[in-house]
Amino acid sequence: MRMSGDAAMTTAEPIYRERLLPRLRTALLLLCGPAVLGIAYGAAVGALAGWLVFAASSLAAGVIVLVTTPSVAVSHAGLSAGRAFLPSAAIGAAVPLDSDARRHALATHATAFTMLRTWAAPTAVLVHVEDPQDPHPVWVISTRYPDRLVTALRTLTAREDPP
């Protein structure tokens, strides 16, 4: 079951929240384009124009990265991965994955829902979906802290289970 998670996540206090911003080396690579553009304008028009183009294009690239960066959150309502939302009643077992296990899980589960940002985090979490109507039996979600996300999901599902 997937729907927009914005409305569901705003009403509940998050147990876990993470933004998948690019790692430092990826962010530095993102500056290569503005740098080349600035050098080209600097050579053609002058140094001041080159620095202005570099600053403006770097700022634009930074804003685009911030606006398009997904977040992963767990609240009492459920799991939110980017714009997708999985209600707490549909969350099953969760397993942390390193990069090799992530590749294996993707090869094994062809119909998995994926929100992967390998440039932000090489590790992931595999979440089993307990809703038989859902077309995706598992979710594979990138995270920098798979153990923390699994702990948050286990905390959430432990509250759902009756004693």
- Token pair recorded at residue 2: 């997937």
Answer whether 98's CB lies under 8 Å from 125's CB: no
Q: Distance (Å, rounded) from C-alpha 72 to C-alpha 11?
A: 16
| Pairing status of strand 138-142 against strand 124-129 | antiparallel
- The confidence score (pLDDT) of residue 121 equals 86
Query: Are the CB atoms for 86 and 2 separated by under 8 Å?
Result: yes
The pLDDT of residue 3 is 47
What is the pTM for the complete model shown? Answer: 0.77
Residue type, 79: L
Q: What is the dihedral of CA 41, 45, 49, 53, to 10 degrees?
A: -20
The whole-angstrom separation of Cα 81 and Cα 117 is 11
Q: What per-residue confidence (pLDDT) applies to 159?
A: 65
Q: Which residues of the chain have pLDDT under 50?
A: 1-10
pLDDT at position 162 is 53
What does the pLDDT look like over 104-130, one tens digit per residue? Answer: 999 998 899 999 988 888 899 999 999
| CA-based torsion, 118, 125, 140, 78: positive or negative | negative
